[in-house]
Amino acid sequence: MRIDKNIEQPEILPLTAGDTDAISALAETIWRHHYVHIISSEQIEYMLQQRYQPELIKKQLLNPAIWWRKLILNEAIIGFSFCMLTNKPGELKIDKLYIHHDHHRKGYGAMLVRNAIQIIRENNLQSLILTVNKDNRTAISAYQHYGFEITGDSIVDIGNGFVMNDYLMTWKN
């Protein structure tokens, strides 16, 4: 068997201020591809503006209760995650976890979940949660595979007439 030494292994690194434009562009690509059959185009654009502006991400990078990570493969950012402490003591939430569609089903999502679990352990936290759109069957299945269980509903009015209708999922250690 021949091993190509030019193929790099994926790597998870903390996001830097210099990465924010790339993350914003990647989020747009992923959301416009993935969510088009799940939520309206108007809601996609609204949520991208609300959550992925480079200046907002730069501010979040300064917050010690937030962990942005980038997934690098062959010197390109192909995915990212955003974890944050919640108002519940000892709880971490995976608020964003996305992999470019060209790189799905290769274990990269699992890598980012393991990174969140590492954050929990390094910070003596007790629980890991996330929310996922109820119609996002692919993600629900993946999260269940990673050890998450549906533990409730999360219906949130995000403004401008839009609602996020999600499942609350909890990781069972």
pLDDT per residue over 2-58, tens digit each?
Answer: 455 556 799 999 999 999 999 999 999 999 999 999 999 999 999 999 999 999 999
Shortest CA distance to 69 belongs to which of 82, 58, 59?
A: 82
CA distance 34 to 126: 31
| pTM: predicted TM-score of the whole model, two decimal places | 0.92
Q: What is the mean pLDDT of residues 106-111?
A: 95
| CATH fold for the domain made of 11-128 | Aminopeptidase (3.40.630)
When pLDDT is cut at 50, 70 and 90, the band that residue 1 belongs to is very low
Residue 144 confidence (pLDDT) above 70: yes
For residue 172, what pLDDT is reported? 85
The residues with which 173 forms a beta bridge, in sequence order, are: none
Integer angstrom CA distances of residue 40 from 11, 23, 24, 136, 151: 33, 22, 19, 13, 26
Q: What is the mean pLDDT of residues 95-116?
A: 96
CA distance 11 to 24: 19
The mean pLDDT value of the chain amounts to 94
For residue 7, what pLDDT is reported? 61
The strand ranges marked E within the chain are 11-14, 66-73, 76-85, 91-99, 127-133, 148-159, 162-171
